[in-house]
Chains A and B, each alone.
Chain A
């Protein structure tokens, strides 16, 4: 009840002093716009650079097993117990296939796919014909002569599969293009795996996850295993993120410090202009704590309005200029810091307001 009354009084005070309130809102909005158009733009660019590096497969571990290596599909069960893995699947060696209706047509490589999370590739979790349907990338469909995804393919082994859908080919499968997969939901664990693809949760986990996966391969001949990781890319990503992040944090601190000092100066001036008001409030029974609470609440409300205006303005400016948006995480952090800066800047003026002595403010000379 008291808290609500304080908020209402702070709001009424803010409304009754339009010039001071608008000035404060503009200062806070300016603070946010400055942060968003400088550091926010840097963060947006950083995310775009990191996204480009990630597209190159910073988190991918590709393990190739030559014929006779002894890598089998039960490896997927073993690596399921390793932390830090976002996704994993195994693939057989490529087998050539053609459109069943065009036996002399283009030969396209086809692989059997093992794993329980193939939906990420656009393959349904449950197949009406388990192990009997194929899924192909747009390039493979074109090469098969099945652009409408209607028809079947026949492997060189003589087995035919209905073409059931189009794959969403992620970047880490780009090296397999043209990609055609035949998911194998029912496995015994003895099926030969030629390629094992593992995606780590984060780039910095690539090395430890790679070591852990290698330790559970259980192959017959380790010399026939080749591991390809993106550790160098992951390190590059880390360097880029660290350097750009340090620059961004430094810039934010400088901007907040400068604008915070300006806000404090303006607020102190406003408090001095209202010293008679605070003296009267003290005389009539307002405690020092209440005066501080009123002023901080008033500044908090104005800061919220300023932040709303600042975020809206900077979002529009960034959109119009075609620059990347910094994202919600950065925006939330920046707004939280802006409120904290405004309240910190208001603290000294609030303390000064609370110490106004009624006799000095109310006596008429």
Chain B
């Protein structure tokens, strides 16, 4: 089988010393073109795992590999660059900047990657149109619905066509119709050759993914 796009080897994590580990020796591999659902009861470390895989937390043990290369020990600045270049993130509550326009929110990561602003804006307009975000690009996130906000967050995550897409409860606050749009978008992105990992409590979302990993 081909080298996984993203891999966790004996991954362990504790929030503080002398406390029980949230994760202890966890292994998993995620391949291009696949969607994986991380499921399980609250408090089992699903989101923590997602942040570890996304290089936002440093594991207390084990390693994270991207395309077979260990990245856990890299400097913070290098990890940030990897996040900007290779990852797309969809957070639980969309996490948009309420003080900036919809278009600015979608193009935010262009600055971190050094992508030309004009290219980013053109791509953003295309994505907003594709996901049916029917609001003026100058409008603020506070003036759109929750479903539209999550789709805007999805547009932001897809701006760079990332090889790895991490989504933390992307449908948590959405109605079934909007949830279907988001899940379809995640699967469509996986079909382009990306690895998509979704933390979810929704059996429907988990069922729609290629594999389910229970924690």
Q: Residues of A within 8 Å of B, CB-based: how many?
A: 29
Residues of A within 8 A of B47 (CB): 359, 363
Q: Mark A1-28, 1 if CB is under 8 A from B, else 0.
A: 1100110110011001100000000000
Contact A285 B80 (CB under 8 A): yes
Q: Is the CB of A9 within 8 A of B56?
A: no
Q: Interface majority SS on B: helix, strand, loop or mixed?
A: helix
Chain A CB within 10 Å, residue with most, of B48, B92, B99, B109:
B99
| B112–A5 CB distance below 8 A | no
In the complex, are the beta carbons of B54 and A5 less than 8 A apart?
A: no
Interface residue A287 (Cβ < 8 Å from any Cβ of B):
yes
> How many angstroms from the CA of A363 to the CA of B56 in the assembled complex?
12
Would you list which residues of chain B between 100 and 127 have a CB under 8 Å from chain A? 100, 104, 108-109, 111-114, 117
Does A41 lie at the interface of the complex (its beta carbon under 8 Å from any beta carbon of B)?
A: no
Q: How far is the CA of A281 from the CA of B100 in the complex (A)?
A: 13
Write out the residue numbers on chain B whose beta carbons fall within 8 Å of the beta carbon of A333.
none
Kindly state whether residue A107 has any CB partner on chain B within 8 Å: no
By a CB distance below 8 angstroms, the chain B residues around A2 are 114
For the complex, count residues of B whose C-beta is within 8 A of A.
Answer: 35
A52 to B143, CA, bound (A): 65
Given contacts A5-B117, A362-B91, A362-B95, contact A284 B81 (CB under 8 A): no
Q: Is A168 an interface residue (CB 8 A)?
A: no
Specify which chain A residues have a CB less than 8 angstroms from the CB of B100 in the assembled complex: 12, 16
Which of the residues B51, B92, B112 comes within 8 Å of A285, measured between beta carbons? B112
CA distance A285 to B83 in the complex (A): 5
Shortest CB-to-CB span from B90 to chain A, Å, is 11
Q: A282-B80, A283-B83, A286-B80 are in contact. Are A9 and B111 (CB under 8 A)?
A: yes
- How many contacts between A and B, using CB within 8 angstroms? 83
| Docked CA distance A248–B117 (Å) | 48
In the complex, what distance in Å separates the CA atom of A348 from the CA atom of B196?
38
Q: Which residue of A lies closest to B93 (CB)?
A: A364
Top 9 closest pairs, chain A to chain B, by CB: A285-B84, A285-B112, A16-B99, A285-B83, A287-B80, A358-B56, A364-B92, A287-B77, A359-B51
Additional A-B contacts beyond A16-B100, A290-B112, A362-B95 (16; CB < 8 A): A2-B114, A17-B99, A277-B97, A280-B97, A282-B80, A284-B156, A285-B82, A285-B112, A285-B113, A286-B112, A287-B76, A287-B81, A288-B76, A290-B80, A359-B48, A364-B169
Q: Can you report 27 A-B residue pairs in the complex whose CB atoms are below 8 A from each other?
A: A1-B114, A6-B111, A12-B104, A280-B95, A281-B108, A281-B112, A282-B80, A283-B54, A284-B109, A284-B112, A285-B80, A285-B83, A285-B84, A285-B109, A285-B112, A285-B113, A287-B76, A289-B77, A290-B112, A357-B57, A358-B56, A359-B48, A359-B51, A359-B57, A362-B168, A364-B92, A364-B169
B residues bordering A, Cβ < 8 Å?
Answer: 47-48, 51, 54, 56-57, 76-77, 80-85, 87, 89, 91-93, 95, 97, 99-100, 104, 108-109, 111-114, 117, 156, 168-169, 172
Question: A residues bordering B, Cβ < 8 Å?
Answer: 1-2, 5-6, 8-9, 12-13, 16-17, 276-277, 280-290, 357-359, 362-364
